[in-house]
Structure 1
Amino acid sequence: MAVKINSLEVENVKRVKAVALEPSEDGLTVIGGRNGQGKTSVLDAIAWALGGDRKRPSDAKRDGSATDPHLRVELSNGIVVERRGKSGSLKVTDPEGRKGGQQLLDSFVESLALDLPKFLAMNDKDKARTLLGIIGVGEDLARLELEEQTLYNQRTGIGQMRDQKKGAAADMPMHPDAPAEPVSAMALIQSQQEILAKNGENQAKRQKAEQLKTAYDNATNDALLIQEQIAGMQKALEAKCEEVSDLHADLLIAKKTAEQLQDESTAEIEEELQQIETVNAKVRDNQRRLDAEREAEELDEQYAEMTERIESVRRAKMDLLKGADLPLPGLAVENGLLTYQGRKWDCMSGSEQLRAATAIVRRLKPECGFVLVDKLEQCDPQTLAEFGRWAEEEGLQIIGTRVSAGDDDMCSIVIEDGYSIDTEKPAKTADLDQKWVM
């Protein structure tokens, strides 16, 4: 059975002069008082008594007191804990009168139950790790978290590449009038080469005609010169005349042929070749855009596949936590962070944070049946009522402090100037109007 506090006596600790308290076995016991009267000092005294030297206040002895601190705590398992003196020498006695020490107390007292603000001050990931350590699924959930994060990063990369491909495709030109395949220029180039070869032959013939004309002119001049200088060389003259005659005949033929020659233009072919390159450039543009769109579609499919795998991992995580024995229904760990009812820690209400923290700390060591909670004035009366009812249903003893002048029905005792003042304790009730449960 979980160990709880039956009674407490505190003298000369911090601001406390003398306080005696018998907290309710289950539910909420509230220590009230104005600021600086010693409320928190009572909780610190309990923590010191049960938690040992690591919980001892740095200035434990009350200022102005001639007497050293004295603490006495009686527990529900019959153990009596006493500390005396400024250093707090420890005496632990079990029901049979056997002596014990701090090791015996540590076996059933949870450190965080004595210091709930320490848990509340943890970062969200440490809170989540604490919960996972309790329910025993930390390693499996960490593996799934890593797998989910890896898949998420991969999907993000694929999505970015897909969007880049889509954007690039949208920016590329598209030519609906272009053919699907590039156009071949080989036939036109061959025709162009044939025309250029033919034009070359024509040029050679023109040059030949010019050469013959020059030869004819030279021969004519020679003939005239021979005729003038050598009148008697008739045979040479006749031979030369014959040569001239033959050359003249060849000249006439060559001249006539040259005049009939007509060069063909390659401008049309060159224009067609230029058009082919323009068409093929459009074809290449179209192909690049189609390739980019196809790659974007493939990345779309990969993105959808990654999304399904991520959802599968998330379902596995939910199934893992659904099967776990959680300290409080609605607690979960998502992306390494503690959540309650689907809300992260910073989005929880104060009462939700308090309930979640208390439930987790209580589960850390079930043998410890109590939790100390400071500054309950942050919760309104209805929230305190709900918190108290929940604690009573859980069989949990909660001892807390609240700023109060004692003029309401929320406090079991009120601390004034270091002393406890009894108040009329309200009866236990499930009525919401009662505000809290003893």
Structure 2
Amino acid sequence: MKIVQLQAENVKRLKAVEISPEGHIVEITGRNGQGKSSVLDAIWWALAGTTHIQAVPIRKGENEARIRLDLGEIKVVRTFRKREDQTFTTSIAVESTDGARYPSPQRMLDGLLGALSFDPLAFTRMDGKAQMEALKRFVPGVDFEAIEKANKADFDRRTDVNRQAKALRAQASGIVVPDDAPAERIDDAALVAEMEQAGEHNALIERRRAGREAAAAEVKRLDAEAERIRGEIAVLTDRLRDAEGSADQKRGQLASAETLPKPIDTAALRERIADAGRANAAIARREERARIEAQAAEVEAQSAALTKGIEERVTAKREAIAKAELPVPGLGFGNDEILLDGVPFDQASSAEQLRTSVAIAMAANPKLRVIRVQDGSLLDEEAMRILAEMAQAADYQVWIERVGVSGGVAIVIEDGAVKGAVQVAQAAE
């Protein structure tokens, strides 16, 4: 299916044009700013849906524009109407040859369209990544967008995880543990209990010592009292004797009392408790460092899992690409670039690049056998010959925008209208 006739009224710079193309190369020529690009845009806008229509599709000063495209088997009419706020509405109708209208015209066109937007000349000027994007349509069963989205999410997550792991490792390395730290914690609670028992023991000794001192003071007092009584009251000699006997008895009791035990040296216990505290603090730091290191290892394992997921998706994508049937023998994918016979595409000759790009464009448009080429003035005579030969061999129609003419019938656009057709030498049929 090719374009039989194009009519466009008030589309961009066009006033009214009617083109019934002949041959496989349809050159649209004329001076710059006369409406050549508007012709190629009209073809695209008639078919590709509203997403691709520019902000101002209606010619300045007009309120309505229309594109009629006769494709032989179907006819497409797209209409634009300007609103009061200078925006526009658009509608589309598709009819079969017998006049029947399709109920879902855009859906029908989407199934027909392929990739009319693929410009083989623009493709040769793309960078490697953009060229790979253009070729993704030839790799079935691979959702490149989903893969890139998942890899981007995992990459961002891995960045955060690696940052977290690095922080944990730094935190762990900042915990200093003495080399002589014991392997097990010391039971400082037992030492504290022993310290308490020593305190009670020493307190008991102090109480007993105080009791003895009090008893000795009492003996001394009684001795003085007895001496006073002996001197003053003779009649109380017997009683004094009794008192002296009582005092002697108490002295004997004190003398025979058991020797008090020695106090316990609590200073040594305090030092042992302090040593235990320092040892246990070192062990606690070691345990904290081990805990943080284990946490870091866990986070690093998450990073490794994310890396594995990314690599698995990339590997699956590469395997699918390797199995894909690309439109040109020797065409393949490298790292962020396409290859032709194992060599980066941009290192191939201009002729090889053009042949490859045109073959890709044809493969991308198997039903609507139409290719658009903008900036066709960049093509020399040899390139135009190659383009004409390939279009004829594959029975494709190539609409090309040029300032000059090189072959076939060149349709001249001037001031938004068809001025005429320039007949020049056609490529050999």
TM-score tier after normalising by the smaller chain length: 0.5 to 0.7
Structure 2 matches for 1:191-340, cutoff 5 A?
Answer: 192-193=195-196, 195-251=198-254, 263-324=263-324
Displacement of 1:227: 2.5
Amino acid at match of 2:226: A
**Which whole-Å deviations, capped at 9, do the CAs of 1:298-323 have from their partners, x for residues lacking one?**
44344334322332232223334444
Residues 9 and 18 in structure 1, CA contact (< 8 A), matched pair in contact too: yes
- Counterpart of 2:126 in structure 1 is none
Match of 2:170 among 164, 167, 182: 167
Structure 2 matches for 1:349-364, cutoff 5 A?
Answer: 359=360, 363=364
TM-score after normalising by structure 2 = 0.64
Alpha-carbon distance change, 48 to 303 in structure 1, aligned in 2, over 3 angstroms = closer
Partner Cα separation in structure 1 for residue 36 and residue 136 of structure 2: 33
Residues 362 and 396 in structure 2, CA contact (< 8 A), matched pair in contact too: no
Partner Cα separation in structure 1 for residue 151 and residue 95 of structure 2: 51
TM-score after normalising by structure 1 = 0.63
- Is the counterpart of residue 137 in structure 1 residue 141 in structure 2? yes
- Counterpart of 1:434 in structure 2 is none
Partner Cα separation in structure 2 for residue 398 and residue 313 of structure 1: 38
Residues 33 and 415 in structure 1, CA contact (< 8 A), matched pair in contact too: yes
Amino acid at match of 2:338: Q
Aligned pair count reads 380
**Which whole-Å deviations, capped at 9, do the CAs of 1:90-115 have from their partners, x for residues lacking one?**
99996xxxx53665998679568777
Residues 199 and 263 in structure 1, CA contact (< 8 A), matched pair in contact too: yes
Partner Cα separation in structure 1 for residue 249 and residue 69 of structure 2: 152
Identity %: 22
- Counterpart of 2:28 in structure 1 is 31
- Counterpart of 1:100 in structure 2 is 99
Partner Cα separation in structure 2 for residue 232 and residue 225 of structure 1: 13
Partner Cα separation in structure 2 for residue 91 and residue 141 of structure 1: 32
Partner Cα separation in structure 1 for residue 309 and residue 256 of structure 2: 91
Partner Cα separation in structure 2 for residue 82 and residue 204 of structure 1: 118
Displacement of 1:277: 1.0
- Counterpart of 2:342 in structure 1 is none
Instruction: Note the residue ranges of structure 2 that are not aligned, 5 or more in a row.
Output: 82-92, 123-130, 340-344
**Which whole-Å deviations, capped at 9, do the CAs of 1:57-95 have from their partners, x for residues lacking one?**
745999xxxxxx99896x6x6x69799xx99xx99996x
**Which whole-Å deviations, capped at 9, do the CAs of 1:150-177 have from their partners, x for residues lacking one?**
6556645543442232122122223222
Displacement of 1:240: 0.4
Partner Cα separation in structure 2 for residue 132 and residue 272 of structure 1: 76
Partner Cα separation in structure 2 for residue 235 and residue 21 of structure 1: 164
Residues 362 and 369 in structure 2, CA contact (< 8 A), matched pair in contact too: no
Partner Cα separation in structure 2 for residue 12 and residue 205 of structure 1: 122
Q: Counterpart of 2:234 in 1: which secondary structure?
A: coil
Displacement of 1:415: 3.6
Partner Cα separation in structure 1 for residue 413 and residue 135 of structure 2: 35
Structure 2 matches for 1:405-416, cutoff 5 A?
Answer: 406=404, 409=406, 413=410, 414-416=412-414
Amino acid at match of 2:27: V
**Which whole-Å deviations, capped at 9, do the CAs of 1:155-202 have from their partners, x for residues lacking one?**
455434422321221222232221222233466556545543443343
- Is the counterpart of residue 424 in structure 1 residue 421 in structure 2? no
Question: Pairwise CA RMSD of aligned residues?
Answer: 5.6
Residues 185 and 276 in structure 1, CA contact (< 8 A), matched pair in contact too: yes
